[in-house]
Structure 1
Amino acid sequence: MITDPQGTVLALFLVFCRIGGCVLAMPGFSSARVPTHLRVFIAGALSLSILPVLWDTVYPAVQTSSATYIGFIFSESLIGVMYGMLARLYTLGLQFAASIIAMMVGYSQPSASDIFEDSSESSLSGFITFAGMMILFMMDFHHIVFRALIDSYVSMPFGGIMDMRSTLISFTDTLSSTTFIMLRLCSPFLIYGLMFNIAIGFINKLAPQIPVYFISTPYLLMGGLFLFYFSVAALVSQFGQSFASVFIGR
């Protein structure tokens, strides 16, 4: 039986601010293809499910003044968005690597609609992005994010001042680790594109009267797609396995 309905609702809303901020920025859930009402329902359901676990931590915070409670709302939302953005940076790195791969194999055109956002990208990069997100959901990456968000009530309790220096360090470390991982994943295509274009440049010097660059495009695309066929499984697998080390390490 609920003895304090008002306090329960206020505590639930504080939990919703942190969870909702994370869902707002987390990859997959924050997609333009996911309706706004569905995001609110997901955040609300998660808040209801973890409120009993965090009751002893959250409920004392609502026994404060109105100004302090409003400050809690802003700080909790900011913390949730920060955790969601840390996960989102990793998936943005995959889009960066997919764009490099599509450019190196000569498959940058024609453009197609982005699967997750209201933008355009090549069909190959869209396929890689979708496969990477599917692997992340199959490996329950959202469980890792939500578990870290619940543990954050110990490292970032109510009433504490958010350490912006540590937050910026977490963002820069995530960007650095993500960049190295994505460059490693697309390095075979970078080497392939570099060697192919150097070879075509030498051929053009030997036979300048032939439009080598127009003739070479089908061969560039064919070789790149063969390379993609043999490496896509390892690429997507390493992308999914590296998420936990990048996110938990922050």
Structure 2
Amino acid sequence: MISDPDGTVLALFAAFCRIGGCIMVLPGFSSARISLQIRILLAVAVSMAMLPVLWDQIYPQVTGKGHSYLLLVTFETVIGVVFGLITRYYVLGLQFAGTVLTMMIGFNAPPTADVLEDTAENQLTNMISFAGLLILFLMDFHHVVFSALVDSYTSMPIGAKFDPQNVLITLTNTLSQTFFIMLRLASPYILYGLLFNIAVGFVNKLAPAIPIYFISTPYLIAGGMFLVYFGIAAMLKLFADGFGPILRGL
């Protein structure tokens, strides 16, 4: 029997703020294809499962707080969102690499509906970003994130002073690491596009009367597709391997 129903509800809601804030922006769980009700129920279920483990850290901080409970809820939500953004930035980085890839190989097809979000996206970029997210789920990345959330109650205990500078430094480092990782993933296609266009420019100088840029476009796309066919497995493997250093930011 619950001896303090009010304190239990307050503790559960405090845990829900950090966990729900993370799920709100976590890749895959925050997809537009998942209804809001399912996301809320998932956040509540995870919060209820974690509350017994975190009871000693949460319950003493939420009882008898009075008006400061609202401030505590705000900080808990922000911390949870930061944890979710660290992973989301990495997945969005793969979408950025896919956009660069399609531009460099000349695959500029009209955008279609995205698989994950309610936005228009290039078909090749759509496929690459969806495959990368699928690999992360195969690696059980959400289990690692939830485990990091549990550990965060030790490094960032509930009710402690919120440090916005540390949060901004963490997000900035995540963006920096993600950019360099995705630049390495897209570098073969960037080199291919640059070399191909330089070669076409030289040919155009030799035969200026021929509309070489219109003739060369099918060859640019065909060569880029062959490069994607032979390199996409290595690209996704490097994407999965690069997720480890990003997790150290958690």
- If the length of structure 2 is used for normalisation, what is the TM-score? 0.97
Check if 1:123 corresponds to 2:123.
yes
1:73-222, aligned counterparts within 5 Å? 73-222=73-222
- Asked whether the 8 Å contact 1:141–1:243 carries over to 2, the reply is no
One-letter amino acid of the counterpart of residue 190, structure 1? I
Offset from partner CA, 1:114-149 (integer Å, 9 cap, x none): 111111111000000000000000001111111111
Q: Summarize deviations over 1:198-244 as a string: whole Å, max 9, x none.
A: 00000111111111111111100100000000010011111112112
Within 2, Cα distance between the matches of 1:176 and 1:70? 33
Unaligned 5+ runs, structure 1: none
Q: CA RMSD in A?
A: 1.0
Letter in 2 for 1:37: Q
Counting aligned pairs with the same residue, the percent is 54
Q: For residues 26-52 of structure 1, give each alpha carbon's deviation from its aligned partner in whole angstroms, at most 9, with x where no partner exists.
A: 111111111100100110110011111
- How far apart, CA to CA, are the structure 1 residues paired with 2:66 and 2:37? 28
Question: What is the 5 A alignment of 1:23-42?
Answer: 23-42=23-42
Encode CA deviations 1:54-96: one digit per residue, 9 max, x unaligned: 0111111121232111111111111101111111111111110
| Count of matched residue positions in the alignment of Structure 1 and Structure 2 | 250
- Amino acid paired to 1:185: L
8 Å contact kept, 1:24–1:30: yes
What SS does structure 2 have at the residue aligned with 1:52? helix
**CA distance in structure 1 between the aligned counterparts of 2:9 and 2:241, rounded to whole angstroms:** 39
Partner of 2:52: helix, strand, or coil? coil
Contact map agreement 1:104 1:193 (CA 8 A) in 2: yes
| 2:67 aligned counterpart, secondary structure | helix
Contact 2:25-2:84 at 8 Å conserved across structures: yes
Residue aligned with 1:54, SS: helix
Counterpart of 1:234 in structure 2 is 234
Residues 86 and 246 in structure 2, CA contact (< 8 A), matched pair in contact too: no
Whole-angstrom CA distance in 1 between matches of 2:161 and 2:60: 17
Aligned-partner Cα distance in 2 for 1:103–1:178: 20
Q: Secondary structure of 2:218's partner? A: helix
SS of the counterpart of 1:55? helix
How many angstroms apart in 1 are the aligned matches of 2:34 and 2:170? 28
Q: If the length of structure 1 is used for normalisation, what is the TM-score?
A: 0.97
